[in-house]
Amino acid sequence: MGGLTATEALERLGGIAGAASVIQLSSRRRLRTSVANGSVLKLGPNRYALPTSQAGLAAAVALRGHLSHLTAAAHWGWEIWQQPPVASIVVPASSTVLSTHCDLRRTDLKPGEVDGWATSKMRTVLDCARDLPFTAALAVADSAMRHGDVLHEELVSAAKREPEHVRRVAEWADPRPANPFESALRALTVQAGLLVVPQFATTCGEQTYHPDLANPFLGIAVEAESWGFHSDKETHDRDCVRFNAMTAAGWLVLRFTWNHVMWSPSYVMATIQEAITEKAA
């Protein structure tokens, strides 16, 4: 059992997760309390979410618009790196509505770019790639692919006529990262100049390991350390054995926490660049 509130746990899990994952970072009692007061929604027998898309839907109906960007991503059930402070709503370019309670965007959507009360899944990924930082945009693209809602070749094709930074998100999108934390860490790793493969298989002795991110040519592995999932003695011992085995086999293993990636991205990138210099030497 962790020390976070249920809403804090869900924020770290991308805004939507199963009960076991939330409880592991928080507690069963805190989860029940949050559901009771409405700060957490129960989507099913074992699925919980932050009310991101629900609040956005009310705004979309009132403004006669559609959910967009991270609000649309939450609507589609995708895990996202950071919860938006306000709902993102897109209205027609000619609309005269005003709102101080949401991120209001004006553009004319084509019929294929709308699905119900939200932008289509492909349009949502492209909007996020176009307007959000690389970390947040890549987390959305990875999640959309992880859920099977967007295929990589379709995304790359749809981004062909987009600006370079949008094409970059499309090219790097990958379903293998387990969560937005790993996606955001991979975005920082790429920005630091280290090309990595998610869940790369490497055999050390008689054991095969799958570091979160790895560059096998330089022998650098980058791990997203979620303390809430590595807090018991057995798991901690297993992590130590894994770390020692990879180090003994010649890997330089870098380990970053959620706080590092969220609040100290410059530290993460500087450390990775130092590792590249060290290995290259």
What is the band of 143 on the pLDDT scale with cuts at 50, 70, 90?
very high
Q: Residue range 179-184: average pLDDT?
A: 97
pLDDT of residue 181: 97
* pTM score of the predicted model: 0.94
**Is residue 20 predicted with pLDDT exceeding 60?**
yes
Percent of the chain at pLDDT > 70 equals: 98
Residue 118, classified by CB atoms within 10 Å of its CB into exposed (0-12), middle (13-18) or buried (19+), is buried
Write out the two tokens for 244.
């020692």
pLDDT of residue 228: 56
What is the overall mean pLDDT for the chain? 94
For the chain, domains (ranges, CATH) are 6-48 (no CATH), 52-172 (no CATH), 180-280 (3.40.960.10)
Q: Residue range 240-247: average pLDDT?
A: 94
Give the closest residue to 152 by CA, choosing from 109, 189, 122, 194: 122
Contact 14, 81 (CB under 8 A): yes
Q: Which residue has the tokens 């492909």?
A: 122
pLDDT of residue 231: 56
Which tens digit of pLDDT belongs to each residue from 25-65? 999 999 999 999 999 999 998 999 999 998 899 999 999 99
| Exposed e or buried b per residue across 227-255, where buried means at least 16 C-beta atoms within 10 angstroms of its C-beta | ebeeeeeeeeeeeeebbebbeeeebbbbe
Contact 19, 46 (CB under 8 A): yes
Q: Residue range 75-97: average pLDDT?
A: 95
pLDDT of residue 1: 61
Percent of the chain at pLDDT > 90 equals: 88
Strand order in the sheet with 102-106: 102-106, 87-91, 66-67, 118-119, 114-115
Q: Residue range 133-138: average pLDDT?
A: 98
**Is residue 114 predicted with pLDDT exceeding 80?**
yes
What is the band of 155 on the pLDDT scale with cuts at 50, 70, 90?
very high
Which tens digit of pLDDT belongs to each residue from 202-230? 999 899 999 999 999 999 999 999 765 55
- CA distances (Å), 115 to each of 34, 35, 149, in order? 30, 28, 13
* 16 membership: H or E segment, kind and range: strand 16-18
Q: Residue range 184-199: average pLDDT?
A: 97
pLDDT of residue 99: 82
